[in-house]
Structure 1
Amino acid sequence: MTDDELVLAVRKLLVGRELPGPASAENVAAFERVVGYPMPKLLRRMYLEVANGGFGPWEAVSLTDTGDWFSDCADITTAYRDFVDPEHGLPPGIVPLMDRGCAMWTLIDFRTEDGQIWDWDPNLCCTRHASAPLGQSLAQWLIDWIRGEAHEGSYPDRVAATTSCQGL
């Protein structure tokens, strides 16, 4: 599926849902300055051409406070700043995208052009082992959602924490 086809498919899937309007290019640029990396092109298109949050299987966090909170955070900048604190220990450029509940998040890697998807699930062991790349691009992840194959709860293909984990 091309990026154009993905944007159209996501729009079609969201028909009838009351979502915020698209974000502005200024909103995208402001967040890129916070992260220090450019937003993956497909994600940029989702925010600029679909909606400023609310798209995806667990509703992407908005770039700005739209009044529609799709997590416990008003916007993605707040979520990102929460995740770059020393407790979470995520590398710069890994951005929390969707709050899946129960402390689980879907993250996206701004350091990669195709927006590699990561998992954050401290329920598996501890915060030190909570993050893991899934080896899946944003495009493939959206295709899974469109096909009804998005995973609830923990990702089944995720590498488990080491057996030496001592927890928190």
Structure 2
Amino acid sequence: MTDDDLIVAVQARVADQDLPEPASADDVRAIEHMVGQPMPLLLRRLYLEVADGGFGPWDVVSLTDTGDWFSDCADITEAYRDFADPESPLPPGIVPLMDRGCAMWALIDFKTADGQMWDWDPSLCCGEHALAPLGQSLAQWLTDWLHGTMPDGSYPHREVTAKDCPAH
């Protein structure tokens, strides 16, 4: 699927949902400034052309406080700051995108043009090793959702980052 195909497919998938209006270019720039990286183009287009949050398998967090909270956070700024733990910070450019419940999050790497996806799942090991790359771009990840192959729980193809973790 091309990015254009994905945008159309996501729009069709959420057409019957009462989602916020699309974000503004200023809202996108504000997040990019906070993260210090440009947003991957497909994600930018989704926010600008589909909605300011609420689309995707577990409802993408809004860029701004739209009044529709799609996680325990009002917006992506709050989610990003909540993950900015000085003792175990996220790698630069990794941004929380979707609250999957049970302390699990889907995250996206703003440093990659195709938006490589990451997983935060402390229940698989421990807090220190909760973050792991999925080895999927945002496009691949959304395609799994659109085709109904997105897992509800832990990702079966998640890359293990700490095979020697005592909790593993």
TM-score scaled by length of structure 2: 0.95
| Counterpart for residue 76 of structure 1 | 76
| 1:165 CA displacement | 2.1
Structure-2 residue corresponding to 1:113: 113
Instruction: Decide which moves more: 111-120 or 79-88.
Output: 79-88
Question: Stretches of 4+ moved more than 3 A in 1?
Answer: 160-164
Query: How far apart, in 1, do the equivalents of 2:161 and 2:113 lie?
Result: 27
Give structure 2 stretches of 5+ with no counterpart: none
* Deviation for aligned residue 1:77: 0.5
State the SS of the aligned residue for 2:132: strand
Contact residue 135 and residue 159 of structure 2 kept, 8 A: no
Deviates more, 1:59-68 or 1:87-96: 87-96
Query: How many aligned residue pairs are there?
Result: 167
- State the match for 1:92 in structure 2: 92
Cα 1:56–1:92 change in 2 (3 A) is same
1:20 is matched with 20
Give the counterpart letter for 1:144 in structure 2: D
Separation in 2, partners of 1:53, 1:119: 19
Q: Percent identity?
A: 69
Match of 2:144 in 1: 144
TM-score by length of structure 1 reads 0.95
Unaligned runs of 5+ in 1: none
